[in-house]
Structures are given as structure tokens and as C-alpha cells.
Structure 1
């Protein structure tokens, strides 16, 4: 059994996660992912809109121009960025509704007042 197939093979992202919890415990809680597929990475996913992304971006020292923007399924915006933290690669990702989908739910048809 290789080192990467053992839990100990994930020590780098798990140490980073412990450091994040200690230093950024006041920030919104993300969904956390650690996998032997990317043994040096911890994923932080925010599913409550895009606003939480910004506070995490600042805390991780990610430059605004490093953020990638995308659209998923036509009604969800996605922000993604990478940082190095406590020896691990951190992938920060957030999902939020597009403006059109928010307006559709609100029923205003997209017209400005």
C-alpha cells in the first residue's frame, strides 16, 4: 500500500485545515474536501452565495485578479481561486445565483426602477 493510499498521506492538507480552523475560525464555514487524488490540496467550497468568497479570498491573501469566474447550468455563477497556505494548496470555490435567476425568483422581469 503506497503512502498516498493511507490517511497519513493526507497530512499536508489536514495540517493546513487545522491551521485554517485556528486562524480563520470566525469566517463562514465551507464544505471541506481532502482527497488522495490531490494529496497536497484542501478544497473549501462555499454554497451560500458569492459574498462569503470575498472574506475568504482576503484571509488567504488571494489577489482579485487571480479569481476565475464562470457560469454553471445557466443560473449559477462560480468563483474559483487557488492559494498556498500552511504548506498546502487551497482551492477556494463559491457558488451563487446569477442576477437573472435572482430577478426571476423576485418576479421583477429584470427591469430597473
Structure 2
């Protein structure tokens, strides 16, 4: 595999940077295993990562009902995930945030 084989995901990243440079910076992952996939993720112990996810979700036109919400790490971590197509690439958007003790006690998922 060559860098040219990652053209689709790298082009999408370039266009996202040009079109949405004002949005919060995500962790970015491009892989030779899935060359047409671009992963954008947000990790935070507060809920700022969830807010960043929502900004990106809105910018990418992903419907709220297309978002998967779950917890992991025995309910201690809240996860939001969604995907869409952008510039020919599959863009996977994921956010992780600590689930507060109050939310865990109240059953928020």
C-alpha cells in the first residue's frame, strides 16, 4: 500500500479542515486497514467532548436519531458514535466522556 491509496480519506480530511476549521480539533485516525475511512474522535473527562461531537454532527448533517449512545467501562464512560459519507470517505465520529456519578445513579445512558 502507498500513500496514494489513502487519497480518499486524506482528501476528506483536507476538505474538513478547510470547511470546518473553526470547529474543535478531533483526534484523527487514517488507517491502511480501512483506507476510505476517516475517524474523528473526542476524548475528555468533562462533557466538552460531547459538545464538540454535537458541533461536528450538526456540521456534517448527521441526524440526531442516527447517533448511537452507550456506556462502556462498567457505565463510567459515556460514548456517542455516528457515521456519514463526506467527499467519498466514510467519516466515523465518536466522543468519549466520563459519566458522572449522579448520571450513573440516575440511570442516564
Q: How far did 1:51 drift?
A: 1.1
Distance 1:72 1:6 in 2: 35
What is the TM-score when the length of structure 2 is the normalising length? 0.86
Q: How far did 1:69 drift?
A: 1.0
User: Gaps spanning 5+ residues in structure 2: where?
Assistant: none
Give the aligned partner of residue 98 of structure 1: 99
Return the index of the structure with the highest Cα Rg. 1
Distance 1:29 1:44 in 2: 9
User: Gaps spanning 5+ residues in structure 1: where?
Assistant: 104-108
Give the aligned partner of residue 34 of structure 1: 30
What is the TM-score when the length of structure 1 is the normalising length? 0.83
**Equivalent residue of 1:50, what SS?**
helix
Structure 1 stretches of 4+ moved >3 Å: none
Distance 1:59 1:35 in 2: 24
